[in-house]
Structure 1
Amino acid sequence: MDQYTYQEFNRTIYRQRLANGLLVQLLPMPGFHKTYATFSTDFGSIDNQFIPYHEEEAVTVPDGVAHFLEHKMFEKADHDAFDLFGKLGADSNAYTSFTQTSYLFSTTSHLRENLDVLLDFVQDPYFTDKTVAKEQGIIGQEIQMYDDDADWRLYLGLIGNLYPHDPMRIDIAGTVDSISKITPQILMQSYRTFYQPSNMNLFLVGNLDPTATMEWVIDNQNSKDFPASETPRRMTKLNDPTAHDVIPFRSLTMNIARPKVMVGLRGIKQFEDGRERLRYKLAVDLLLDVLFDDTSDNYLRLYNNEVLDDSFGYNFEMQRGFHFAYFSSNTDQMERFADEVVAILESADKQIDAARTRFAGIKNAELGRLIGLLDSPEAIANRYADKLFDGANLMDEIRLLKEISIDDLYQVAKEFITPQGISVYQVVPHHQ
């Protein structure tokens, strides 16, 4: 078991890759009562084209399979994993993103028993025609519910503009039509391909003894037989890596009280190194704070002129194979909002020049926020993205962030902000 000590945080991570390929990481937090665990697979909604395990021909599965699998894994022939966690006093959940599926629990007692439940239910698939049909109805209702959510439609609409021919344009849950095509055979095919231990990682943080906990994991895994590992072969590639397929503008009419607008910016830089990717992400986060945080002249000017309001927000998302930023607000001045955001982005160098006196405060605020997350077992585990950032954790993020200077922002602005990558999406009230 390898140890990685972060002396400035008085924390040590224990890491071991097991014989079956599973990566296990443990972060003890002395003085904490809670333990939080995540068990994740490098499989998300965009992974709909792949060569199945031990096969040679590529397949395309219906949109929504990864999310459907997440729902179905809890249900077994004679029990539900949620009930087992409940009896042991643990809270459990799961989530699916574009590129990852994670199963989790938090507990203050019975750690070994809860850990066994987590590992056992995720590594014991059970699918029947009857249970799949029942889940199709449940997820279909979930999809229809989100269809009535204007903020979700705004977000998904913008992604559809940024990636009009790529799978991320589709809701992570799929569509009512696509999930109707999911069968037990498709679920098992996807499971065998992506739920191999070598494509998964287990992260525990909080009240734990690393030696004993690692032994529990090894005992659990040694009690099972796993087929030989095989690296998943994904076939999904961006339709146009240069982003010249971005749709500049679309709008949607819904029954809402006020207009909503979102400006998106799609990045095109490709990365071979995960730490380089993480450093880029942290630098872009700082760049967006320089341009748009609520201490900036841009924000105050637009707020005072009622171009945006307290609903304004921005974010940068980076996942396997793609990254983008978005800026949104409820506003009666949709066109002006979009024009102003685009103008700020296109004048990024001048904006950075003007923010030199503010930069230290912005960077310290972000450092303070990340350092504050060190007291949250959930935040530490959920921020971990194994292969995306070459195994970097929250403490690695803090170290990298400290290295970034304002001069680094000029380079990331040049790399990230391209004219063809900009798009606007509106959700407009019926009466307007």
Structure 2
Amino acid sequence: MITEKYYKNIDETLYTEVFKNGLTVYYLPNSQISKAYGIFSTNFGSLDITFADKTYPAGIAHFLEHKLFEKEEGDVMLKFGSQGAQTNAFTSFDRTSYLFSGTENIKENIELLIDFVQTPYFTEASVAKEQGIITQEIQMYQDDPDWRLYAGLLAALYPKSPLAEDIAGTPESIGQITVEMLYKNYETFYQPSNMCLFLTGAFDVLEISELLHENQDLKNLPVQKIDREEMIFAPSQSFSEISMDVSDNKLGVGLRGNNGVSSADYLEYRLSMQIFFAMIFGKTSKFYENAYKTGLIDDSFNYEFESSSRFRCFVATLDTKEPEKLAKILQDELKKYKINADTSEEKFDLIRRQMLGDHIASLNSQEHIANEFTAMTESSRKTFFDSSEVLSQLTLEKVLKLAESFLDNSECSVFLIRPKK
């Protein structure tokens, strides 16, 4: 049965259908756009290396993503190209997603997206070939100081955990991956009940629904309980450093939140923390204005709040000639937020309205809508389309209360890349 929900704030109607095999499909028809966009996601990412009392090599989710494009008859990308579409995929900490976009052969491309993801084909020869390709990819990132800074900070915040590993794994870990491991991970995490499909574009919902029912009814897809191991984090490392061929010091300061967030409150929590850190460190903050004017920070300064159902953290990174001084200043700014002039009603309302405007503008992008929507399906009862309503109802008091809870239950890490002497 297809259900529909109208979002008045953004004038959009979302149709949802749960198939008998557990697959959830979201339809967002739009007759004003000629291009169709589809994203097929599984709740399976680099964090999911331990399940059913067995641990698999780091990087196996990313490896699976690569291998699903290769079939006995050739590369799926070529087939999409022949049907006038583009395709791609990505793996994050907690999901793997496959996508296509195109203006023609919409039904054919939707079915191709479903079929290639639901039809695994692995051989020992193709696995060995992919191990070489991904090893080169990993080594390329190891030479990127900005990536090493971010990855090193996460490793300091979450030592001895999957978050301390590159999403692609290491040359050693992917060298351990076998055909049998790939099939076992595929059968566990690529079952329909652990996946969702989001489609948007100029199509008829009932027509596409009928197409998908016929497709799924012909397949015997895996159904089993997913026994994920709960992640238990070791204490964070307060300070760590490495040396690389860089001209300036690269500094990372991170806070690891240790308090839980319910799925009912997740969207409100995420938006609140984004507002809070924008008040403290955003380009309209006193900190940013003063530090930029005095040369303490430059355009390399960047910060973000990362969150999912299993972890949440704040990270700030920048190039600096005075890393120790900057690390202390950043930590002090967070400690004294209660007396910070930027945590005011005026600044809160300014940033909240900016975020509302950015959200409305983002609705013009099919890719952004689909990616953001599917990113929240596991973590939150509310969806990306509820963002404007949640933002409109947020108060400064609520934001500061959630920020206090995060900061009071957090651990701090500093990671530094120094120039080689």
Q: Partner amino acid for 1:367?
A: L
1:132-174 deviations in whole A, cap 9, x for unaligned? 0000000000000000000010001000110012111000000
Q: Partner amino acid for 2:403?
A: A
**1:55 alignment counterpart:** none
What does 1:289-308 align with in structure 2 at a 5 Å threshold? 289-308=278-297
**2:396 alignment counterpart:** 406
**1:171 alignment counterpart:** 166
CA positional deviation for 1:389: 3.3
CA positional deviation for 1:27: 0.7
Residue segments in structure 2 that go unaligned for 5+ positions in a row: none
- Cα RMSD of the aligned pairs, angstroms, is 1.4
Q: Partner amino acid for 2:240?
A: R
Q: Partner amino acid for 2:157?
A: L
Q: Would the alpha carbon gap of residues 419 and 212 (structure 1) be closer, same or farther in structure 2, given more than 3 Å must change?
A: closer
CA positional deviation for 1:281: 0.7
In the alignment, structure 1 residue 253 sits paired with structure 2 residue 237: no
In the alignment, structure 1 residue 336 sits paired with structure 2 residue 330: no
Q: Secondary structure at the match of 2:47?
A: coil
Contact kept, 8 Å, 2:309 with 2:379, in 1: the verdict is: no
Q: Secondary structure at the match of 2:246?
A: coil
1:335-362 deviations in whole A, cap 9, x for unaligned? 1111111011111212266533222111
Q: Partner amino acid for 2:330?
A: V
Contact kept, 8 Å, 2:265 with 2:380, in 1: the verdict is: no
Contact kept, 8 Å, 1:352 with 1:409, in 2: the verdict is: no
Q: Secondary structure at the match of 1:325?
A: strand
- Compute the TM-score of the two structures, normalised by the length of structure 1: 0.94
Give the alignment partner of residue 259 of structure 2, picking from 265, 269, 287. 269
In the alignment, structure 1 residue 358 sits paired with structure 2 residue 359: no
Q: Would the alpha carbon gap of residues 352 and 125 (structure 1) be closer, same or farther in structure 2, given more than 3 Å must change?
A: farther
Residue segments in structure 1 that go unaligned for 5+ positions in a row: 52-57
**2:4 alignment counterpart:** 3
Name the count of aligned residue pairs: 419
1:10-42 deviations in whole A, cap 9, x for unaligned? 210000100110000011123111111110000
Contact kept, 8 Å, 2:68 with 2:116, in 1: the verdict is: yes
**1:103 alignment counterpart:** 98
Which piece of structure 1 moves more, 142-151 or 340-349? 340-349
1:82-101 deviations in whole A, cap 9, x for unaligned? 11111011110000011100
What does 1:26-65 align with in structure 2 at a 5 Å threshold? 26-51=27-52, 58-65=53-60
Give the alignment partner of residue 232 of structure 1, picking from 226, 231, 235. 226
Q: Secondary structure at the match of 2:97?
A: strand
Q: Secondary structure at the match of 1:417?
A: helix
Contact kept, 8 Å, 1:48 with 1:236, in 2: the verdict is: no
Give the alignment partner of residue 218 of structure 1, picking from 202, 213, 226. 213
Q: Percent identity?
A: 39
Contact kept, 8 Å, 1:50 with 1:236, in 2: the verdict is: no
Q: Distance in 2 between matches of 1:176 and 1:390?
A: 35
Q: Partner amino acid for 1:288?
A: F
Q: Would the alpha carbon gap of residues 352 and 220 (structure 1) be closer, same or farther in structure 2, given more than 3 Å must change?
A: farther
Q: Secondary structure at the match of 1:421?
A: strand
Which consecutive aligned stretches of 4+ in structure 1 deviate over 6 angstroms post-superposition?
none
Q: Distance in 1 between matches of 2:342 and 2:292?
A: 22
What does 1:276-295 align with in structure 2 at a 5 Å threshold? 276-295=265-284
Q: Partner amino acid for 1:47?
A: D
CA positional deviation for 1:404: 0.8
Q: Partner amino acid for 1:105?
A: F
1:172-224 deviations in whole A, cap 9, x for unaligned? 00000000000000000000000000000000122222121222211211121
Q: Partner amino acid for 1:345?
A: L
Q: Distance in 2 between matches of 1:298 and 1:7?
A: 38
Contact kept, 8 Å, 1:246 with 1:420, in 2: the verdict is: no
**1:396 alignment counterpart:** 386
Q: Partner amino acid for 2:23?
A: L
Q: Distance in 2 between matches of 1:323 and 1:220?
A: 38
CA positional deviation for 1:8: 2.6
